Amino acid sequence: MNLRITLLALTLSFAACSTSNHQRLSSREYFSQFSDLAQALRFYPALLISGTGNQTRVILRKNASMQNQEPLYVVDGMPIGNNYARANHLVNMAEVVDIRLLSHTHELTSYGVNGASGVIEIKTMKKEMASD
């Protein structure tokens, strides 16, 4: 009986810990705990992040051996370029409600050449309010 209860408890605790990153990363309260964009992006295993402040570089792991070009940053549907410093400056982490990393070819086609190294889509409360 004790073994059965222990196994049930372990199963339930594992299920609670294994919620997907996307579910965990889609709330404003979660993102507001970060002081900058790089802190939030470090939770995406597909990204390599180096440097600090305006010298931060973000690269998709699958592109690490290639040109090392940064992904395209898109904030509230507006492409703002392949520059982390600019994206970080424009984004208030307290307003972020979702960050999506796009890296598959079929996801990148609508972004053209600028999105060839991946796309980081950032959705803020501003976009959410505008769509209501």
pLDDT higher than threshold 80 for residue 131: no
Q: pLDDT over 70 for what percent of the chain?
A: 70
Rounded mean pLDDT, 98-117: 90
Cα–Cα nearest to 121, from 91, 132, 15: 91
Q: Point out the least confidently predicted range of 13-22, 107-116, 119-128.
A: 13-22
Domain ranges within the chain, ordered by starting residue: 21-130
Whether CATH 2.170.130.10 fits 21-130? yes
Instruction: Give me the pLDDT at residue 18, please.
Output: 38
Q: Point out the least confidently predicted range of 7-11, 62-66, 114-118.
A: 7-11
pLDDT higher than threshold 50 for residue 16: no
Contact 86, 36 (CB under 8 A): no
Question: pTM, whole model, 2 decimals?
Answer: 0.74
b/e burial code for range 10-22 (CB count within 10 A of at least 16 → b): eeeeeeeeeeeee
